[in-house]
């Protein structure tokens, strides 16, 4: 249908806006991307009075990915978290990062009003926004999920307890580490 075609074209256009080099894949420590994103959203957290907590491992969290893309996604998710929790008495957003089963998982949880089940599928649609008069275009999540998928990862949302939402960004861990975990087959050929 034509609306979906228009959306697809728009997404392509938006991706083209991204500067070349932004999607360069390199081996990075994701903790650096998190700290970079945190710097970029610090003022939003100061404005909203929401408390941001980073829960990062003590060891490098390696991923083979595009650092600027990751920062783009994290900035989107952290800003959304700040906006969602802004109305709470003690607004809080927590970003947790951990390696799990060949993946790196970054979760961003807020204690805002949460996302009703019936809207959960739709929040990643372009132009869909639950923010009232935020002035935003509702493109943040639509772009974020596409960037995540382009990087071989995924972006999903669930409920936080006792209230709020948790966004989970999963990225593949570096292949070299996985290869090391698989015993080499002895083919019998002289090496």
Q: Can you point out the beta strands (E) in 18-117? A: 26-29, 51-55, 62-65, 92-100, 103-110
Tens digits of residue pLDDT in 70-90: 999 999 999 999 999 999 999
Pairing relationship of beta strands 51-55 and 92-100 according to DSSP bridges = parallel
Q: What's the farthest any 2 CA atoms get from each other in the chain? A: 69
170's CB contacts (< 8 A; 6+ apart) are 103, 104, 105, 106, 148, 153, 154, 155, 156
Q: What angle do CA 115, 82, 151 make, to 5 degrees?
A: 75
Tens digits of residue pLDDT in 100-158: 888 999 999 999 999 888 888 888 888 787 665 445 556 788 889 999 998 999 999 99
């Amino acid at each position: 249908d034509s609306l979906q075609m228009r959306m697809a074209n728009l997404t392509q256009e938006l991706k083209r806006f991204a500067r070349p080099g932004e999607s360069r894949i390199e081996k990075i420590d994701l903790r650096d991307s998190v700290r970079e994103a945190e710097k970029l959203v610090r003022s939003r957290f100061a404005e909203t009075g929401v408390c941001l907590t980073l829960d990062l491992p003590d060891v490098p969290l390696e991923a083979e990915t595009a650092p600027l893309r990751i920062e783009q996604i994290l900035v989107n998710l952290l800003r959304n978290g700040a906006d969602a929790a802004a109305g709470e008495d003690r607004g809080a957003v927590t970003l947790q990062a951990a390696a799990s089963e060949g993946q790196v998982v970054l979760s961003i949880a807020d204690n805002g009003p949460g996302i009703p089940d019936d809207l959960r599928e739709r929040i990643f649609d372009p132009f869909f926004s639950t923010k009232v008069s935020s002035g935003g275009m509702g493109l943040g999540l639509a772009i974020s999920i596409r960037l995540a998928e382009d990087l071989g990862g995924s972006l999903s949302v669930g409920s936080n307890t006792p209230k709020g939402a948790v966004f989970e960004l999963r990225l593949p861990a570096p292949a070299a580490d996985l290869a090391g975990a698989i015993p080499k087959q002895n083919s019998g050929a002289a090496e």
